[in-house]
């Protein structure tokens, strides 16, 4: 889902979870922010592709396991809760109990529920709206250009073209971007630089969510 920006170091890419955590500790200790952010990407990718079990990740990333500034680990923890929420989404959305067969503690389930409600209202109030963008100088009718962009996003949302639940904002934004980038209606009706900058705004929204996902889980 996320490309790694550091090339492909196969030793790191294929390391097991314990080695990954050990490397995270070392990079924290030596303040190597570039490597830390790469390892974090790897962690996130594994969680969202379900290579890394979310319950294990929640235990590993819990700030009580770390001797220093817990702040960066809250992000890792946020992604672990997000992955748990995606798995539990069918039960959460239909109001079923999730405590019985869950690997999570009651306190952890409270975080998952917080995230679920927060992300749902984030989608309804913010992410379902088309992002604003800068028009290029040759855009003759910015109002119409924005209108075209807006109605296309609404059309996709209303016609259920995005096969992920509202709370899975990361995948929804990714899919929305993919559909809009190939959309012939937009290609025909928006000047190319406007279309490009509108699509960039959508990517920025996804990047922002990736960086701030832990806030939704009350972390
Ligand atoms: Zn425009």
Distance 152 CA to ligand 1 centre (A): 14
Looking from the CA of 59 toward its CB, the CA atoms found within 13 Å total 9
Distance 92 CA to ligand 1 centre (A): 40
pLDDT, mean of each 10-residue run, the chain (219 residues): 49 75 82 84 86 86 70 84 93 78 83 95 91 95 97 85 91 94 96 97 95 92
pLDDT (tens digit, 9 = 90+) per residue, 37-51?
888 888 888 888 888
Distance 192 CA to ligand 1 centre (A): 9
Neighbours of 36 (CB within 10 A): 17
> Residues whose CB is under 5 A from ligand 1 (ion)?
135, 139, 142, 145, 194
CB-count burial class (<10 Å; 0-12, 13-18, 19+) for 170: buried
- pTM for the model: 0.85
Tokens of 50: 């379900």
Distance 121 CA to ligand 1 centre (A): 29
**C-alpha 133: how far from chain center:** 21
């Amino acid at each position: 889902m996320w490309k790694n920006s550091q090339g492909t170091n196969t030793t790191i890419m294929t390391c097991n979870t314990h080695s990954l955590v050990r490397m995270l500790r070392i990079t924290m200790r030596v303040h190597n922010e570039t490597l830390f952010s790469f390892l974090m990407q790897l962690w996130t990718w594994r969680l969202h592709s379900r290579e890394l079990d979310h319950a294990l990740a929640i235990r590993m990333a819990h700030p009580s396991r770390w001797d220093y500034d817990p702040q960066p680990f809250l992000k890792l923890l946020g992604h672990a809760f997000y992955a748990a929420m995606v798995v539990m989404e069918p039960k959460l959305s239909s109001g079923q109990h999730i405590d019985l067969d869950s690997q999570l503690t009651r306190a952890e389930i409270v975080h998952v529920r917080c995230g679920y409600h927060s992300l749902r209202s984030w989608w309804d109030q913010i992410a379902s709206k088309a992002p604003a963008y800068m028009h290029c100088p040759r855009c003759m009718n910015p109002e119409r250009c924005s209108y075209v962009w807006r109605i296309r996003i609404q059309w996709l949302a209303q016609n259920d073209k995005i096969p992920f639940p509202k709370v899975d904002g990361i995948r929804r934004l990714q899919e929305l971007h993919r559909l809009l980038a190939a959309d012939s209606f937009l290609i025909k009706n928006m000047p190319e630089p406007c279309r490009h900058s509108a699509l960039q705004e959508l990517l920025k929204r996804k990047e922002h969510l990736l960086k701030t996902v832990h806030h939704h889980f009350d972390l």
